[in-house]
Amino acid sequence: MTVVLLVLFAAACGPRAQDSASPLRGVPGDLTAPTSTTTTTSTSIAPTPTSTVASEAVLLHFILGDSITTVLRTLPLGPDPQDVLDSLLDGFPTSSFGSDIRSAIPRDLEASVSVERGLATVDTDGSLLTEISPIDQRLAIAQIVLTLTSRPGIGQVTFLVNGEPQAVPRGGGELAPADQPVAYDDYAMLLTPGGVAPPSGQ
């Protein structure tokens, strides 16, 4: 009888089996939170092609020895007469073609050009004819006339000095009256036989 009571007492004091599951409490949030996936997309942009500026070669005239030679220079497409004259006034870089080619035009010459009905009127300051020798005067005028009359639409050139009509030497040395235009043929005898010098690189 005593043994039976001890067994029943031990059974009453032991752990009880659970019939249903109970939820876990106190679980850390990062273990129960849903996971997310992040996708990074890399986009490459193709480089924009460099645009090219249209250009053309113009004929400029410089001095080689005692003659006039033709030099090609590249300018933006469709230069107006002032652009061409300014390029001539810039001179010739001796580093690109030895030191034999030069210009008789004063480096500080101020000159503008306008064209009407095929006649180019070049208005310069006094340095064109007062600061250079008579021989260089003839060559400087030849450079300007041959360069401008090589452009389409220009057949003759007349010169002003500070707004006043000016007599200028022709290729043979004689003076053209102040009211008389000069043309390509007046200076063609000064051209160097054989053609065009290499481009000046400007």
Token pair, residue 106, equals 């004063």
Minimum mean pLDDT among 20-24, 133-137, 149-153: which range? 20-24
Residue 64 near residue 197 (C-beta atoms within 8 A): yes
In contact, 70 and 61? CB cutoff 8 Å: yes
**Contact assessment for residue 129 and residue 166, using Cβ atoms and an 8 Å cutoff:** yes
For residue 62, the tally of other CB atoms under 10 A from its CB is 24
CA pair distance 173, 128, nearest whole angstrom: 16
Q: Is the pLDDT of residue 108 over 70?
A: yes
* pLDDT classification of 7: cutoffs 50, 70, 90: very low
Percent of the chain with pLDDT over 70: 67
Name 154's Cβ contacts closer than 8 Å, sequence gap at least 6.
81, 115, 118, 119, 120, 148
pLDDT average, residue stretch 108-122: 95
pLDDT, mean of residues 183-200: 79
pLDDT beyond 70 at 200: no
Q: What's residue 4's pLDDT?
A: 41
State the virtual CA torsion across 166, 168, 174, 175 in degrees, nearest 10.
Answer: -10
Q: C-alpha angle 3/5/9, rounded to 5°?
A: 120
Tens-digit pLDDT profile for residues 131-141: 889 889 999 99
pTM of the model: 0.71
DSSP 157: E
Residue 107: which pLDDT band, with cuts at 50, 70 and 90?
Answer: confident
pLDDT band of 46, cuts 50, 70, 90: low
Closest of 164, 162, 165 to residue 182, by C-alpha:
165
* Rounded Cα gap, residues 48 and 131, in angstroms: 52
The residues, ordered by sequence, that sit 6+ positions from 129 with a Cβ below 8 Å of its Cβ are 137, 161, 166, 168
pLDDT of res. 119: 98
**Which two tokens mark 25?**
């409490």
> Token pair of 146, please?
């041959």
Give the pLDDT band of residue 50 (cuts 50, 70, 90): low
Q: What is the pLDDT of residue 19?
A: 43
